[in-house]
Chain A
Amino acid sequence: MNEPLLKVENLHQHFEISRNFKIKAVNGVSFEIYPGETYGLVGESGSGKTTIGRSIIRLYDPTEGQIYFNYKKISGNLSHKTQRMLRKNMQMIFQDPMSSLNPRKKIGDIIGEGLDIHGLYSNLKERNKIIGDILQKVGLSPAHAQRYPHQFSGGQRQRVGIARALVMNPKLIIADECISALDVSIQAQVVNLMKDIQDDTQCAYLFIAHDLSMVKYISDRIGVLHKGYLVETGTTKEIFSNPLHPYTKSLLSAVPLPNPRIEKNRQLINYNLETDYQNCILSKITETHFVLN
């Protein structure tokens, strides 16, 4: 195999809220993503998915561990040049679309901002065309460029965030629950679009989600996160056909079905083991499949 595009090594991210309350959000997580690959990151609410994304894109300073991107170390202090490379080649689609869109800017300018900074067009007409095209691709219309964020529905706003990331043609997109507010049909449209763009440009995705059916569909490999630890990772097939960690199993058992007669009577397997993962080690099952125990 070729070299990984992103390499996360032993990442720890802790937050000190007060002297006696520290949140250990991420604890020794390692994984790689190859060019053109989609790595799905799943896990319960609060397990550290967003934090990992934000550490990678350097909104946080990692407490411990290294991150390499595009053959460069990007943890620790960044040179101006590396920062610029990062801002062009790595984009994040944020979980909370409203708080990531400047309320006073028109959608067209929000999407165009990255293009402006990196000078990715030769004239205004081209800029507007790029913006109009990408809006159309995510199922909005070029006329929407004139509107402000609050004048959109929740799902429309989420697609603005997607358009803003895709328009930069980055090498890596960190997509944090990026289709969670969309109805199934538009989810399908967006996911198909992301796949097409990947086929065209060989970009890689870190696809953070809790919806396992979508993750299964889009990911090549999957990492399962629990309480800030990566408890299992493997190819999509390995995770779905041979889940080994009890937490992964409980996650798979809970996928809801669009069937009222079944859902109304379903009992969930609740995995609430008070395990302490601190002394666990990742053991190898196959070349690609690892489980923490």
Chain B
Amino acid sequence: MDKNIILSIKNLDITFRTNAGNIHAIRGVDLNLPKGKTVALVGESGSGKSVTMKSAVGLLDSNSIINSGKILYRTSEEKIIDLLSLTKKELRQNINGKNIAMVFQDPMTSLDPTMQIGEQIMEGMFIHKKISKSEAREKTLELLKLVGIVDAENRMKNYPHQLSGGMRQRIVIAIALSCEPKILICDEPTTALDVTIQAKILNLIQDIQNKMDLSVIYITHDLGVVAKVADYVNVMYAGKIIETGTVDEIFFDPRHPYTWGLLSAMPDLETDDDRLYSIPGSPPNLLHEPKGDAFAARNKFAMKIDEKKEPPMFQITETHFAATWLLHPDAPKIELPKELKLRLERAGKAAKI
């Protein structure tokens, strides 16, 4: 593992057992998080983003089977640990919270409905830090203010159901930040937040990142958020990373047809069409794994080989890779879809590249 990498997922492969059969949800995921950087994980709903990151904190559902893989974590003493080899108890005691904190997608699932939110924020601090009650209280008030909760003194005494959706989301973020973790994993952290508060939260995380060398993974479908915070982007489709690169490479020079679709579907305020663009077709059913490239059925540029063989990752630059046969030296040259080409040109012009 490279010196600058703090978390590295290697060939992760996970199946879920269900009544209807086995679902091969994660099919060989590789992902690197460089220290102090921000990595975004994007992709279609159901593609496996949450499951991938939940496996790092030992919170997979009980019907899961990890077929293979490693999740390597570099401790502050430069020791490398495979998180998948730890028991749930070891993870809870030594890793979760103080080393790796995760903000879950559905805030209600990680909040205790019977406990005041002030207590819930303090709880983690008591477990992981030697801290007095009054210090914890001070810190909690400060955190609440930082995440934009006004009237924090009173709000501490609220129960989760007495808060708005976006407030709950911010409480979960405050809990994650309370133990000053080394890695922060945020699963759709700002979906319920309006743009102003979203910006406040993203700036807050960036500040902490600059001060304490925090490394962050954002799972998000909001490409505006990705554009704002990410250094690197990983695009996931049907349980695999199909394109990875720096944020500029993904936004200005995307190579995988799925990434093209994703960028095309983003409405900018200029879109005035009667219908929004959505990628045709539906994701493959991982109960019956597709042969060949999982995206082939929805890809209008698909070739014969796509139906037979999964494409490997082709390298484009030092940092940019994509898994599509279109990048094979023998593949025919194709034109980007016209709409997207115009859009990329617009984006390029706006950014004055």
Which residues of A line the B interface, CB within 8 A? 15, 17-18, 21, 23, 42-46, 49-51, 95-99, 139, 141, 143, 146-147, 150-157, 159, 176-177, 180-189, 191-192, 195, 210, 212-214, 216-217, 250-251, 254-264, 266, 268, 270-271
Contact B157 A95 (CB under 8 A): no
A38–B157 Cα distance when bound, in Å, is: 37
Chain A nearest CB from B83 CB (Å) reads 22
Instruction: Tell me which of B19, B49, B224, B263 has the highest count of chain A C-beta atoms within 10 A of its own C-beta.
Output: B224
Measured CA separation A43–B165 after assembly (Å): 13
CB-CB under 8 A from B15, the residues of chain A are none
Q: Which residues of A contact B51 (CB under 8 A)?
A: 153
The residues in B between 203 and 245 inclusive whose CB is less than 8 angstroms from any CB of A are 221-228, 230
From the candidates B46, B158, B196, B197, name the one contacting A156 in the complex (CB within 8 A). Answer: B46
> Contacts A186-B278, A251-B194, A260-B248; is A147 near B227 (CB within 8 Å)?
no
| Cross-chain contact A184 with B267 (CB below 8 angstroms) | yes
With CB as the reference atom, state the residue of chain B lying closest to A250: B196
Q: Which of B193, B287, B350 contacts A143 (CB 8 A)?
A: B287
Tell me whether A185 and B262 are in contact in the complex, defined as CB-CB below 8 angstroms, given that A96-B106, A153-B45, A154-B106 are known contacts. Answer: yes
Could you give 16 example pairs across A and B, Cβ below 8 Å? A43-B194, A44-B194, A45-B192, A95-B165, A96-B168, A146-B18, A153-B51, A155-B46, A155-B221, A180-B191, A183-B265, A191-B276, A192-B276, A213-B271, A256-B228, A260-B251
Instruction: List CB contacts (< 8 Å) of B259-297 with chain A.
Output: 261-263, 265-269, 271, 275-279, 282, 285, 287
- B97 interface residue per 8 A CB criterion: no
Contact between B265 and A188, CB atoms less than 8 A apart:
yes
Given known contacts A96-B108, A98-B106, A268-B196, A184 and B162 CB-to-CB distance under 8 angstroms = no
CB <8 Å contact, B16 and A153:
no
Residues of B within 8 A of A (CB): 16, 18-20, 42-46, 49-51, 61, 63, 105-109, 148, 154, 157-158, 162-168, 170, 187-188, 191-199, 221-228, 230, 247-248, 251, 261-263, 265-269, 271, 275-279, 282, 285, 287, 347, 350-353
| B109 adjacent to A151 (CB under 8 Å) | no
- B227 in contact with A258 (CB, 8 Å): yes
Known contacts A256-B222, A259-B227; A98 and B347 CB within 8 A of each other:
no
Contact: A45 with B164, CB < 8 Å? yes
Docked complex Cα distance between A183 and B197 (Å)? 20
- A216: chain B residues at CB < 8 Å are 269
Q: Is the CB of B263 within 8 A of A258?
A: yes
**B351 lies within 8 A of A21 (CB):** no
Residues B165 and A182 in contact, CB atoms below 8 Å apart: no
Residue of A nearest to B275 (CB): A192
**Contacts A188-B265, A213-B267, A261-B353 known; A256 to B276 CB distance under 8 Å?**
no
Q: Are A181 and B164 in contact (CB under 8 A)?
A: no
A-chain residues with CB within 8 Å of residue B266 when the two chains form the complex: 184, 258
Residue of A nearest to B219 (CB): A154
Q: Are B106 and A97 in contact (CB under 8 A)?
A: yes
Per the bound structure, the CA–CA distance linking A167 and B199 in Å amounts to 36
Q: Complex formed: what's the CA distance from A71 to B265 in Å?
A: 40
B16 pairs with A257, CB closer than 8 A: no
CB within 8 Å: A-B pair count: 214
Tell which of A183, A259, A268 touches B45, judged by Cβ atoms closer than 8 Å.
A183
| Shortest beta-carbon distance from B199 to chain A in Å | 5
CB-contact partner of A182 in B45, B193, B225, under 8 A: B45
Closest residue of chain A to B108 (Cβ to Cβ) is A99
A45 and B263 within 8 A (CB): no
Contacts of A264 in B (CB 8 A): 227-228
Given the known interface contacts A17-B162, A258-B224, the answer about A188 and B277 at a Cβ–Cβ threshold of 8 Å is yes
Q: Is the CB of A183 within 8 A of B42?
A: yes
- Of the candidates A23, A185, A217, A255, which one forms a contact with B261 in the assembled complex, judged by CB atoms under 8 Å apart? A185
Query: Shortest CB–CB separation between residue A100 and chain B, in angstroms?
Result: 9
Write the chain B residue with the least CB distance to A190. Answer: B278
Residue contact B50 to A45, C-beta cutoff 8 Å? no
Q: How far is the CA of A183 from the CA of B105 in the complex (A)?
A: 13
**Can you name 8 extra interface pairs (CB under 8 A) apart from A46-B167, A184-B221, A210-B166?**
A17-B154, A50-B164, A50-B165, A96-B168, A98-B109, A139-B282, A213-B268, A261-B353
Nearest-Cβ distance from residue A172 to partner chain B, whole angstroms:
21
Bound together, the chains give a CA A191 to CA B192 distance in angstroms of 18
Chain B nearest CB, measured from A211 CB (Å): 8
Q: Is the CB of A259 within 8 A of B195?
A: no
A156 to B63, CA, bound (A): 18
Q: How many angstroms between the C-alpha atoms of A167 and B350 in the bound complex?
A: 43
Please state if B196 and A271 are interface contacts (CB–CB under 8 Å): yes
State how many angstroms separate the Cβ of B147 from the closest Cβ of chain A: 10
- What residues of B have a CB within 8 angstroms of the CB of A259 in the complex? 227, 251, 347, 350-351
Query: What residues of B have a CB within 8 angstroms of the CB of A183 in the complex?
Result: 42-45, 221, 262, 265
A45-B194 in contact (CB<8A):
yes
Q: How far is the CA of A161 from the CA of B183 in the complex (A)?
A: 33
Asked if A17 meets B275 with Cβ closer than 8 Å, knowing A143-B287, A258-B347, the reply is: no
